[in-house]
C-alpha cells in the first residue's frame, strides 16, 4: 500500500495541526491554572494530552505506510488570554479548522480510492463531531449562566466535570 504524495503531505500537515492544538491547549491550561480556574485548567491539560494522542495516531499511520513523519516545531508562545470565554471560542475555532483539514483528506482519499486512509480517517471524522459539539455547548453556557464571577465559577465546575483522560494512541 502506498500513500500518494498529496495525502502524505496532508497527513504530515495534520501532525502539525494536532501538535499545535496540543500546545495551544497547554498554554490555555497553564493560564487557567494561575488565574484560579482550576476546573478549566484540568480540562485543558487533559485536552492537550488528547491532541497529542491524535498526533501520535497519525504518526503511527504514516509509519505503517512506510513514511517517516516530519515532526514540526510549534511557534505559538501565547501565555496570556483575555477570558475563559475567549479561550473556549478560540478552541472551537481551532477545532473547526481541524475538521476542515480532516474533511479535505477524506475527500482526497475518496477521489484516490485510497480505502485504507479513508477508513483510518473515519475515527477522526467522528471525533471532530464530538469535539466541536463539546466546545459549542460550553460556549452556550456563557449566555445561559452568565459572565459574572459566580457564573464563571459555575462554568469552571462544568469544565471540571467534563475532564476526560485521553485514550492511548493505538
Ligand atoms: Fe485533534 Fe481536537 O482535534
Q: Number of helices and strands (H, E) in the chain? A: 5, 0
Q: List the beta strands (DSSP E) in the chain.
A: none
- What's the number of domains the chain is made of? 1
| Residue 149 in grid coordinates | 464571577
Q: How far apart are CA 110 and CA 96, in angstroms?
A: 21
Residue 126 lies in a domain: yes
CB 56 within 8 A of CB 64: no
Distance from C-alpha of 40 to C-alpha of 3, rounded to nearest angstrom: 39
Q: 18 C-alpha vs ligand 1 centroid, how far in Å?
A: 6
pLDDT at 33: 97
d(CA 126, CA 105): 14
Distance CA 134, CA 169 (A): 21
User: Residue 148 gets which letter from DSSP?
Assistant: S
Would 166 be classed as within a structural domain?
no
- What pLDDT shows up at residue 73? 84
Give me the half-sphere count of Cα atoms (radius 13 Å) on the Cβ side of residue 8: 13
Q: Which ligand 1 atom is at minimum distance from the Cα of 124?
A: 1
* pLDDT at residue number 50: 97
CATH of the domain at 152: 1.20.1260.10
Query: Does some domain include residue 74?
Result: yes
**How would you write the pLDDT of the chain (170 residues) with one tens digit per residue?**
789 999 999 999 999 999 999 999 999 999 999 999 999 999 999 999 999 999 999 999 999 999 999 888 887 778 899 999 999 999 999 999 999 999 999 999 999 999 999 999 999 999 999 999 999 999 999 999 999 999 999 999 999 999 976 666 65
81, part of any domain = yes
Ligand 1 pocket residues where CB is under 6 Å = 18, 21, 51, 54, 95, 98, 131
Question: Residue 34's pLDDT is what?
Answer: 97
Residue 72 is predicted with a pLDDT of: 83
CB count within 10 Å of CB 14 equals 26
Domain assignment present for residue 45? The answer is yes
In a domain, 94, yes or no: yes
Domain range for 69: 5-161
How many of the other CB atoms lie within 10 Å of CB of 110?
13
Question: Domain for residue 168, yes or no?
Answer: no
Say if 147 falls within a structural domain: yes
Q: State the pTM of this model.
A: 0.94
Query: Measuring from atom 1 of ligand 1, which residue has the nearest CA?
Result: 51
CA of 25 to the centre of ligand 1 (A): 10
Amino acid at each position: 500500500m502506498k500513500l500518494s504524495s498529496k495525502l502524505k503531505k496532508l497527513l504530515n500537515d495534520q501532525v502539525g495541526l494536532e501538535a499545535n492544538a496540543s500546545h495551544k491547549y497547554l498554554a490555555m491550561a497553564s493560564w487557567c491554572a494561575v488565574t484560579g480556574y482550576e476546573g478549566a485548567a484540568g480540562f485543558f491539560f487533559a485536552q492537550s494530552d488528547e491532541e497529542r494522542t491524535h498526533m501520535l495516531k497519525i504518526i503511527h499511520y504514516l509509519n505503517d505506510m512506510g513514511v517517516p513523519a516530519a515532526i514540526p516545531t510549534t511557534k505559538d508562545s501565547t501565555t496570556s488570554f483575555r477570558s475563559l470565554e475567549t479561550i473556549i471560542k478560540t478552541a472551537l475555532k481551532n477545532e473547526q479548522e481541524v475538521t476542515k483539514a480532516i474533511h479535505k483528506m477524506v475527500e482526497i482519499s475518496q477521489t484516490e480510492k485510497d480505502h485504507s486512509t479513508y477508513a483510518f480517517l473515519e475515527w477522526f471524522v467522528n471525533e471532530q463531531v464530538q469535539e466541536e459539539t463539546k466546545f459549542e455547548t460550553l460556549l452556550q453556557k456563557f449566555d445561559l449562566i452568565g459572565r459574572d464571577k459566580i457564573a464563571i465559577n459555575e462554568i469552571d465546575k462544568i469544565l471540571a466535570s467534563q475532564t476526560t483522560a485521553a485514550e492511548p494512541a493505538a
